[in-house]
Structure 1
Amino acid sequence: MTTLSFEAAGAARAAVDAHVPELVGDEVASRLVAQDPTLWGPDAEAEASIRLGWLNPGESSRPLLGQIAALREELAAESVTRVVLAGMGGSSLAPEVITRTAGVDLTVLDSTDPDVVAAALGERLAETVIVVSSKSGSTVETDSQRRVFEQAFTDAGIDAKSRIVVVTDPGSPLDAAAREAGYRAVFNADPNVGGRYSALTAFGLVPSGLAGADIETLLDDAEMTVEILRDDAPDNMGLELGAALGGTEPLRNKIVIVDEGSGLAGFPDWAEQLIAESTGKLGTGVLPVVVEAGAPEITSDAADILTVRIVPADSEALPEGNQVLVAGSLGAQMVLWEFATAVAGRLLHINPFDQPDVEAAKKAARGLLDATPEPTEPAFIDGSVEVRGPASLLGTANTLRGALTALLGELGPEGYLSVQAYLDRDRQAGLADIRADLAAATGRPVTFGWGPRFLHSTGQFHKGGPAEGVYLQITGRPATDVAIPDRPFTFGELISAQAAGDASVLADQGRPVLRLHLLNREEGVREIENVVRSLSAEGGNK
């Protein structure tokens, strides 16, 4: 039996009490489950009419279960037991949380960092199948990853087409190309579902099922949850959570999400991309801030922060202050948060299904790849770190500490800091610890994202949401570079263009951006960590 629970206190409870009666009166829940595209106004109707298939997860997904199980058995019989996923945004984050929660292995390749790509290529290639997930196939990261794996299989004497599985929309360019190439399998996802809502479509289920996760139970829970949420009732948890996310007055637009032993490994990261890309547009939206237990933001009394705690189903905890508590199984929670995000979009008066500002960074990156400009000179070098930023930001700073102090000085009373690390999230994983130290140093919410994957999630909010952020971009010289077959650029050049392109778009919008480039990754990370720790010690929990 699917179980869900929701509790709210403070501003969250006030938002529920204020908005849920009206949502019930407008029959929002039943209309949403009936896939009514008029819920978000006339400007959103065309897009919404082709983006609500996630509310009937079984229709397109249940027929896939037998096909996925059969393919997994075939591959296992050939001693192909390692699954690599090439995908970005929702196409990678959903399978990551599904497989981590299930305790099965899946190599998620959602990076263009050449060290990450080289490591994925260098591990058990003879036992590997790669799942290439893209709605159209035009995503540059995914296309590049497919190309390099196809070449690696061929070079190793392996029939490449027997080791490539594709997940895409029916009739897409990738669908046609994959079938013509004779790849091992092509799975079509429901085309009426956007990427960040695609957790329970082929995009989430194929790689997860091939890796060994119990996707049938996941789908069972999801379908039962849709039935629970269809009722126009005051205790509808989808309406309650949606009201808490998008209906506080004044809007608490920093949603701090913390996992407190829920067992849903990595769930806040999945919720982050869902909420940020769905709501951050037209100068409004809510910014999800994923934090660790005990983070400074959880106890903050700032007027723009709302805390959501993901707790175990048997938890007896109660919300404190301006907090929400949510519990439930993974399939149930995925549907709940998708539903609530759509409801929040209605309350925020935005279209929760488009992503108008994601393309800006992609376009800038493509321009840099085509033009290949000479790299800009750093403002100065401190140890292993090249520092770049406009004179209006850096002022007289000539040290790493001075540059960071200058950036943090740009934070307003309702601002946030976004740390963007275009590095290897396995080898440089410890860098993420600076998030909490920076939050302690500034007294403001801090997000941490690995590039380029965050471009497909919080990247939308950075450019489409309120102009409140300051941005710390960290890049680094890779140990090696990896060529991309039949492309005039390497992975090193691609990730460099993605970082520079996003920074230029932010700068063009007047957002403060400090760029740090590590000439030696290990040394540079240590230098940044040392400076941030000292700033944290001085700032305390202010």
Structure 2
Amino acid sequence: MSSLSFEATGVAREAVEAHVKQLVSERFASRLFEQDAALWGAEAESEASMRLGWVDLFEQSRSLVEPIVALRDELRAEGIDRVVLAGMGGSSLAPEVITATAGVDLVVLDSTDPTMVSSALADRLESTVLVVSSKSGSTVETDSARRAFEAAFAAAGLDARQRVVIVTDPDSPMDQMAREGGYRAVFNANPHVGGRYSALTAFGLVPSGLTGVDLHELLSDAEEAAEFLREDDEDNSGLALGAALGGTDPLRDKIVFVDEGSGITGFADWIEQLIAESTGKETTGLLPVVVEPDAPEVSGAADTLVVRLVAPDAETGDASTANEVRVGGSLGGQLLLWEVATVVAGRLLSINPFDQPDVEAAKAAARGLLDDQPEPEAPLAVDGVIEIRGSADLFGQVTTVTDALKALLGALSEDGYVSIQAYTDRWSCAELAKVRGPLAATAGRPVTFGWGPRFLHSTGQFHKGGPRVGAFLQITAGTEVDVEIPERPFTFGELISAQATGDARVLVDLGRPVVRLHARDRTAGLAQIRAAVASLAND
């Protein structure tokens, strides 16, 4: 018996009733666990055939536990107990959730912001091990972090390569480099698992295990859930959840997540990247909107579905509450549950849940800017310490941040959403995320918040490949520090600037409204932006 719990009301319940029987008759669950690549149609079959290793990886993953624990014990015996993870997207979000839920410390460096990088480099270097996670072995953010840490280790008189652990696919450029270079340890992940489905592979287990997480318990929870999720049964919560997400009619494509005591720290952020990157393509998809319990989106709109993440033993919800889903369970079980539900939703949406065709666009634009080093475009206006840029057709007589925000909200369609994209240090600038709620209240539409550049490896796919209804607020900030990237012709400051500018250009080229606010002074500028959003909400 699985410990997972699932309830659906209103249109969500109707979607379950409309689709689960058919999914059962088609043997979707058992075929999924048999790794049947034909489940998503002929066009997706080639990709799916290489991406279904996550459904039964338990034995393979258990074989990793002993070497991970042995390495952890070796490191601790040497006084090395601070674990820093350099990874992006699925390589960082799953370990962040796993360790935070277990109450152990993991420093997740998933940014190219020079202030954040310098903070990570400055703290207890003598007791630090760096885990570098990259499926492709060529991710620019993780490779840059590796180079910076190796230089810092060497400058401190430490053996750099004995302080670095590599997690990557077999035979990737990083795998070859690390084995030839004599790094402390190299762990290979299953190459038949995509990054966002990799929570229970080496990408999730290595950094989590090095911090002290009980990996056996995590895997046991997931394996127990698998026995239930593989069954062709109308009580299968994976089928039901997937139907609720992708089967409403008309489609409620804004999925509002609110945590009501799930006990899983930051879980909605992991679900966000899983769903957005898996479904946001071919101008369709599901947009996860992670909100606070009292957020305006929770009241529900015609195109939203509320998902409440609850404790495993939570009481049954109010059946009279319309259009909601309640999901509970242990972490290991829920990781697998949401992966199953996401590919079920992909089936119902008629998309391939394993590719990410639009992720490369922003990367290519950033590379072009780094190669050419063009002069920065002049701001359309300057208000205090804020430079205002953006889509030219948005701006008439815009002279203030408030004017720019009003122009952006004025471009929203009835079924639109706002995406706030903050290319700054999420450690020291965490308060900036509080602009999300007031802006949602003002807009009357769902608002998402993402830290750049990490969202480029998750929700960035939806913004470019999903429905063309987003409006984008990009926030960047100057910094008093910069960090060199050894053997690269650009710094971290130049890299994050190119990533932000490149992504904005791709969105503008897609015809989307974009406002870019650059704080010349980080502290004063971000305070000015928060004040402008608050003033709009109070009007």
- The 8 Å contact of residues 421 and 472 in structure 2, kept in 1 or not, is answered as yes
What does the per-residue CA deviation read over 1:409-458, in whole Å, with 9 as the maximum and x for residues that have no partner?
A: 01111000000000111111001001000111111000000000000111
Worse-superposed segment, 52-61 or 109-118: 52-61
Equivalent in the alignment of 2:200: 200
Equivalent in the alignment of 2:303: 304
Equivalent in the alignment of 1:130: 130
The residue matched to 2:108 in structure 1 has which SS? strand
- Change in 2 beyond 3 A, CA 1:231/1:2: closer
Matched, 1:89 2:104: no
What does the per-residue CA deviation read over 1:455-488, in whole Å, with 9 as the maximum and x for residues that have no partner?
A: 0111000000000000000000012000000000
Partner Cα separation in structure 1 for residue 388 and residue 58 of structure 2: 51
| Structure-to-structure mapping, 1:129-528, within 5 angstroms | 129-300=129-300, 302-318=301-317, 320-528=321-529
What does the per-residue CA deviation read over 1:41-90, in whole Å, with 9 as the maximum and x for residues that have no partner?
A: 00000000010000012132110000000000000000000000000000
What does the per-residue CA deviation read over 1:210-234, in whole Å, with 9 as the maximum and x for residues that have no partner?
A: 0111111001111111111111011
- The 8 Å contact of residues 381 and 398 in structure 2, kept in 1 or not, is answered as no
- The 8 Å contact of residues 2 and 329 in structure 1, kept in 2 or not, is answered as no
Partner Cα separation in structure 1 for residue 18 and residue 266 of structure 2: 32
The one-letter code matched in structure 1 to 2:398 is: A
- 1:521 CA drift (Å): 1.0
Partner Cα separation in structure 2 for residue 188 and residue 59 of structure 1: 15
The one-letter code matched in structure 2 to 1:71 is: L
- 1:391 CA drift (Å): 3.0
- The 8 Å contact of residues 57 and 219 in structure 1, kept in 2 or not, is answered as no
The one-letter code matched in structure 2 to 1:12 is: A
Runs of 4+ in structure 1 over 6 Å off = none
Equivalent in the alignment of 1:43: 43
Partner Cα separation in structure 1 for residue 68 and residue 293 of structure 2: 36
- 1:390 CA drift (Å): 3.0
Partner Cα separation in structure 2 for residue 212 and residue 417 of structure 1: 39
- The 8 Å contact of residues 222 and 332 in structure 1, kept in 2 or not, is answered as yes
Partner Cα separation in structure 1 for residue 389 and residue 136 of structure 2: 36
Partner Cα separation in structure 2 for residue 136 and residue 413 of structure 1: 39
What does the per-residue CA deviation read over 1:247-288, in whole Å, with 9 as the maximum and x for residues that have no partner?
A: 000000000011111110000000000000000000000000
- The 8 Å contact of residues 432 and 526 in structure 2, kept in 1 or not, is answered as yes
The residue matched to 2:98 in structure 1 has which SS? helix
The residue matched to 1:355 in structure 2 has which SS? coil
The one-letter code matched in structure 2 to 1:73 is: D
Partner Cα separation in structure 1 for residue 255 and residue 484 of structure 2: 40
- The 8 Å contact of residues 245 and 345 in structure 2, kept in 1 or not, is answered as yes
Partner Cα separation in structure 2 for residue 87 and residue 532 of structure 1: 32
Identity %: 66
- The 8 Å contact of residues 168 and 175 in structure 1, kept in 2 or not, is answered as yes
- 1:2 CA drift (Å): 4.7
- The 8 Å contact of residues 277 and 355 in structure 1, kept in 2 or not, is answered as yes
The one-letter code matched in structure 1 to 2:499 is: Q
The residue matched to 1:233 in structure 2 has which SS? coil
The residue matched to 1:336 in structure 2 has which SS? helix
The one-letter code matched in structure 1 to 2:306 is: T
The one-letter code matched in structure 2 to 1:289 is: V
The one-letter code matched in structure 2 to 1:474 is: I
The residue matched to 1:217 in structure 2 has which SS? helix
What does the per-residue CA deviation read over 1:167-199, in whole Å, with 9 as the maximum and x for residues that have no partner?
A: 011111111110011000000110000000000
- The 8 Å contact of residues 2 and 228 in structure 2, kept in 1 or not, is answered as no
The residue matched to 1:414 in structure 2 has which SS? coil
- The 8 Å contact of residues 15 and 243 in structure 2, kept in 1 or not, is answered as yes
The one-letter code matched in structure 1 to 2:156 is: A
The one-letter code matched in structure 2 to 1:398 is: T
Partner Cα separation in structure 2 for residue 127 and residue 139 of structure 1: 26
Partner Cα separation in structure 2 for residue 47 and residue 503 of structure 1: 29
Partner Cα separation in structure 2 for residue 487 and residue 326 of structure 1: 46
- 1:317 CA drift (Å): 4.3
Partner Cα separation in structure 2 for residue 330 and residue 394 of structure 1: 47
Worse-superposed segment, 315-324 or 282-291: 315-324
- 1:530 CA drift (Å): 1.0
The one-letter code matched in structure 2 to 1:393 is: L
What does the per-residue CA deviation read over 1:499-537, in whole Å, with 9 as the maximum and x for residues that have no partner?
A: 000000000000000000001111111111111111112
The one-letter code matched in structure 2 to 1:447 is: T
Equivalent in the alignment of 1:14: 14
- 1:5 CA drift (Å): 0.4
What does the per-residue CA deviation read over 1:102-134, in whole Å, with 9 as the maximum and x for residues that have no partner?
A: 000000000000000000000000000000000
The residue matched to 1:83 in structure 2 has which SS? strand
The residue matched to 1:507 in structure 2 has which SS? helix
Cα RMSD (Å) of the superposition?
A: 0.8
- The 8 Å contact of residues 57 and 223 in structure 1, kept in 2 or not, is answered as no
- The 8 Å contact of residues 309 and 324 in structure 1, kept in 2 or not, is answered as yes
The residue matched to 2:388 in structure 1 has which SS? strand
- 1:314 CA drift (Å): 1.7
The one-letter code matched in structure 1 to 2:487 is: D
Partner Cα separation in structure 2 for residue 155 and residue 243 of structure 1: 55
The residue matched to 2:93 in structure 1 has which SS? helix
- The 8 Å contact of residues 391 and 508 in structure 2, kept in 1 or not, is answered as no
What residue ranges of structure 2 are gaps of 5+ in the alignment?
none
Partner Cα separation in structure 1 for residue 81 and residue 182 of structure 2: 21
Partner Cα separation in structure 2 for residue 367 and residue 526 of structure 1: 32
The residue matched to 2:153 in structure 1 has which SS? helix
- The 8 Å contact of residues 57 and 222 in structure 1, kept in 2 or not, is answered as no
Equivalent in the alignment of 1:75: 75
The one-letter code matched in structure 2 to 1:178 is: A
- The 8 Å contact of residues 137 and 169 in structure 2, kept in 1 or not, is answered as no
The one-letter code matched in structure 2 to 1:293 is: P
What does the per-residue CA deviation read over 1:269-311, in whole Å, with 9 as the maximum and x for residues that have no partner?
A: 00000000000000000000001111110012x1100000000
The residue matched to 2:165 in structure 1 has which SS? strand
Partner Cα separation in structure 2 for residue 89 and residue 207 of structure 1: 14
What does the per-residue CA deviation read over 1:321-345, in whole Å, with 9 as the maximum and x for residues that have no partner?
A: 1100000000000000000000000
The residue matched to 2:518 in structure 1 has which SS? strand
Partner Cα separation in structure 1 for residue 141 and residue 29 of structure 2: 37
Q: Compute the TM-score of the two structures, normalised by the length of structure 1.
A: 0.98
- The 8 Å contact of residues 5 and 326 in structure 1, kept in 2 or not, is answered as yes
Partner Cα separation in structure 2 for residue 97 and residue 391 of structure 1: 40
